[in-house]
Structures are given as structure tokens and as C-alpha cells.
């Protein structure tokens, strides 16, 4: 028998290369789903009934919904090579405005519309400064973070708002489609809608083009300012929906409402596969990223881990998600240059 290796004799490829080929064909979202399943199994075997209790699962799904909704907008913003670190403070503004409107006994639906309008307005401010002022998104949104935070404190005047109608809690927390809170159903519906928009509609293709190669997009006649206004206004409106869900979940508005919320949303987007360098990201990844982030936080609570360490884990997830995104883009570019 020849001593020539099987691979050089034209025989079957070694098993490791076949496995690598199969793994290479799996979408990133598949790995995320596998990680979520593994986390669920670990929690099942370690804390069991505490994890699977209806109270814990309902709370987990509601938390996932609150993060997923703005993560849709954050995904689109990051795809355009932008970022918005002001959404936590914007949550506070929307919560305060809605709370004051409820205290003045405005109609329920009108309050919701006012809250969403405030969120869209905040997003438009960011988008307009970025689009026409040509100021880097991180600088703009760091500035508006402080402005929105100051507005929250001024509107509250040192007094917490607790007169939130039970109807909001009913809609956000209690009402269900079977065992699933309506809030989570709304989040999934929005993910489906914007997944379709990003994959099939012209605006979605323009957003990807703007993030992948801005100079080429401008040369092709793409109105970049319109894209900036659209994605930041959309993120603002979706952030407002999350703010209203937050007020319904915990019917109390404080100066700290929404604090650090932007970190959780950014983590969900980047862990979900959105590349911080732009041009790449899927809305469904934001949902899976939110699931992974929230199930880790839920595990920390069930294991009685100090909240200080939860913030460390969240920061590590952001760094890890960004690093994976950069590495994936570098690998694809290397593979493309070799073809």
C-alpha cells in the first residue's frame, strides 16, 4: 500500500475538515440559538423550577421584549456606521412626559402617542445634527445623553411619579397570547416586519449600502442625510415604546429610569451579529442577542450574583461581540481577496 496520505490520493477528506466545512456553513444566528439553548439547559439542571416558573419566564420574556424593540433600531443605526448612547436618557424623558400626561388625566392612547412622538423627536435631533452638522455620532449622542438627562431631572423637579394607570401594566405585563405576554408578541412582530424591510425593501438595501461603502453610496446618488434621519428617528420611536413598556413593568418614574439601558441594547445588537464597522447586521440577531443578554442576567439573579458583576459580564459581552464582528469581517475580506 502506498504511503501517500489519503487526502493526496484523491480519497475522502479527513473528518475534521468536513466538520469545519459544515460549521462554516452555519449562520451566526445558529450559534447564538445554540448558546441560548445551552444556557437554558444549564439553568434547568442547576436551578430547575426557579427558572421554569411562570413568574420568571414571563419576566424574562418581558425583559427580552423591552430590549429587543430598541435593538431593532440600534441594529439599523450601527449598520450605517453610527451609534446612539443617548437612548437610556431618552427613556427617562419619555417616561417622565408620559407620567406627567397620565397625572393630567389625558386619554390613554393619546399619552402613548405623545410618548412615541417625544422619542421620534429625540431621535430626529440626533439624526439632524449627524446628517447636517457632520458631527460623529458618538459625540452627538454623548451630548444629547447629558441634555436628555437634564430634561428628565428638570421635568421631575425632584418628585417621583407613581400615579401610573393600572391599564398600562395590564397591557404590558398581564395581557397574554396564551402563555406569552403581548409585549413579547409585539417585539417579535416588529422583528419580522423590519427583517422583511431590510431584506426586501429599497430602504433596507440603501441602509446596507450606506454602511458598507459610504463614499460609493454618495457617488451613486444616495441621499445619506435621509438615511441618517430615518434610522435615528426610528430608533427614537422604538426607544419610546420600550420606555412605555418599562413604565408599565414598574409603574414608577424616577430620575434613574433608563439608566445604563443603552449598554444593554448595544450589547444585544453587537452580540446579535451587527458589525460595529457598519454594513452588516440582521434584525433577528438583535432578538437573539437580547435573549442571550437577558438570560445571562436572569441566571445572575437566580444564582444571587452581585449586580456589580452583572455589569462586568455585560461589558465583556459588548467587547466580545464587537471583537467577533471585526474578526468575521476581516476573515471574509481575506477569503474574498483569495478568490
Q: Is residue 154 part of a domain?
A: yes
Residue 225 has pLDDT above 60, yes or no: yes
Residue range 183-212, pLDDT digits in tens? 999 999 999 999 999 999 999 999 999 999
Q: Is residue 339 part of a domain?
A: no
CA distances to 19, 28, 117 from 16, in Å: 5, 20, 55
The mean per-residue pLDDT over the stretch 12-37 comes to 64
Q: Is residue 313 part of a domain?
A: no
Q: Is residue 310 part of a domain?
A: no
Adjacent-strand bridge partners of 180: 177
Location of C-alpha cell 393600572 = 166
CA distances to 273, 276, 281, 337 from 76, in Å: 12, 11, 8, 27
Residue range 304-331, pLDDT digits in tens? 888 778 788 888 888 888 887 777 767 7
253 secondary structure, DSSP code: B
Print the domain residue range for 124.
Answer: 53-259+275-281
Q: Is residue 156 part of a domain?
A: yes
Cα separation, 205 vs 199, whole angstroms: 7
Residue 176 has pLDDT above 70, yes or no: yes
User: In the chain, how many domains are there?
Assistant: 1
* Cell numbers for 146: 447629558
At 7 the pLDDT is: 40
At 316 the pLDDT is: 85
Percent residues over pLDDT 70 in the chain: 90
Confidence of residue 25 (pLDDT cuts 50, 70, 90): very low
What is Dmax (Cα atoms) for the chain? Answer: 91
At 339 the pLDDT is: 52
Lowest mean pLDDT among 61-70, 116-125, 175-184: 175-184
Q: Is residue 113 part of a domain?
A: yes
Cα separation, 123 vs 107, whole angstroms: 25
Radius of gyration of the chain (CA): 22
Residue range 241-257, pLDDT digits in tens? 999 999 999 889 999 99
Residue range 28-68, pLDDT digits in tens? 888 889 999 999 999 999 988 888 999 999 999 999 999 99
In the chain the first and final C-alpha atoms are separated, in Å, by 36
Q: Is residue 332 part of a domain?
A: no
Residue 11 has pLDDT above 60, yes or no: no
At 326 the pLDDT is: 75
Residue range 125-170, pLDDT digits in tens? 999 999 999 999 999 999 999 999 999 999 998 889 998 999 999 9
Are 243 and 253 contacting, i.e. CB atoms less than 8 angstroms apart?
Answer: no
At 15 the pLDDT is: 46
Residue range 91-107, pLDDT digits in tens? 999 999 999 999 999 99
Residue 3 has pLDDT above 50, yes or no: no
**CB-based contacts of 246: which residues, under 8 Å, 6+ apart?**
66, 91, 95, 257, 258
Residue 9 has pLDDT above 70, yes or no: no
At 234 the pLDDT is: 98
9 secondary structure, DSSP code: G
The mean per-residue pLDDT over the stretch 108-124 comes to 97
At 82 the pLDDT is: 96
At 229 the pLDDT is: 97
The mean per-residue pLDDT over the stretch 69-82 comes to 97
Residue range 284-300, pLDDT digits in tens? 999 999 999 999 999 98
Q: Is residue 23 part of a domain?
A: no
At 26 the pLDDT is: 61
Amino acid at each position: 500500500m502506498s504511503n501517500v496520505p489519503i487526502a493526496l490520493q484523491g480519497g475522502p477528506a479527513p473528518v475534521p475538515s468536513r466538520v469545519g466545512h459544515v460549521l462554516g456553513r452555519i449562520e451566526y444566528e445558529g450559534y447564538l440559538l445554540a448558546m441560548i439553548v445551552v444556557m437554558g439547559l444549564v439553568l434547568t439542571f442547576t436551578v430547575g423550577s426557579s427558572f421554569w416558573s411562570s413568574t420568571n419566564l414571563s419576566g424574562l420574556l418581558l425583559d427580552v421584549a423591552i430590549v429587543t424593540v430598541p435593538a431593532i433600531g440600534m441594529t439599523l443605526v450601527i449598520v450605517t456606521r453610527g451609534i446612539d448612547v443617548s437612548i437610556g436618557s431618552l427613556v427617562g424623558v419619555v417616561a417622565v412626559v408620559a407620567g406627567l400626561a397620565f397625572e393630567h388625566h389625558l386619554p390613554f392612547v393619546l399619552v402613548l402617542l405623545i410618548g412615541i412622538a417625544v422619542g421620534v423627536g429625540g431621535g430626529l435631533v440626533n439624526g439632524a445634527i449627524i446628517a447636517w452638522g457632520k458631527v460623529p455620532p458618538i459625540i452627538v449622542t454623548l451630548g444629547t445623553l447629558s441634555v436628555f438627562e437634564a430634561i428628565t431631572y428638570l421635568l421631575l423637579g425632584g418628585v417621583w411619579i407613581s400615579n401610573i394607570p393600572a391599564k398600562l401594566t395590564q397591557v404590558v405585563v398581564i395581557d397574554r397570547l396564551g402563555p406569552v405576554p403581548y409585549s413579547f408578541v409585539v417585539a417579535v412582530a416588529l422583528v419580522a416586519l423590519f427583517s422583511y424591510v431590510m431584506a426586501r425593501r429599497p430602504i433596507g438595501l440603501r441602509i446596507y449600502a450606506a454602511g458598507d461603502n459610504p463614499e460609493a453610496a454618495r457617488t451613486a446618488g444616495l441621499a445619506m442625510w435621509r438615511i441618517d434621519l430615518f434610522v435615528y428617528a426610528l430608533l427614537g420611536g422604538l426607544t419610546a415604546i420600550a420606555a412605555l413598556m418599562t413604565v408599565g413593568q414598574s409603574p414608577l418614574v424616577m430620575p434613574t429610569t433608563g439608566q445604563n439601558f443603552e449598554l444593554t441594547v448595544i450589547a444585544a445588537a453587537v452580540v446579535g451579529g451587527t458589525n460595529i464597522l457598519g454594513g452588516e447586521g440582521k434584525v433577528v440577531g438583535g432578538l437573539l442577542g437580547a435573549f442571550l443578554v437577558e438570560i445571562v442576567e436572569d441566571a445572575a439573579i437566580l444564582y444571587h450574583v452581585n449586580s456589580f458583576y452583572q455589569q462586568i459580564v455585560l461589558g465583556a459581552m459588548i467587547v466580545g461581540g464587537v471583537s467577533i464582528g471585526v474578526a468575521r469581517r476581516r476573515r471574509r475580506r481575506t477569503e474574498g481577496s483569495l478568490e
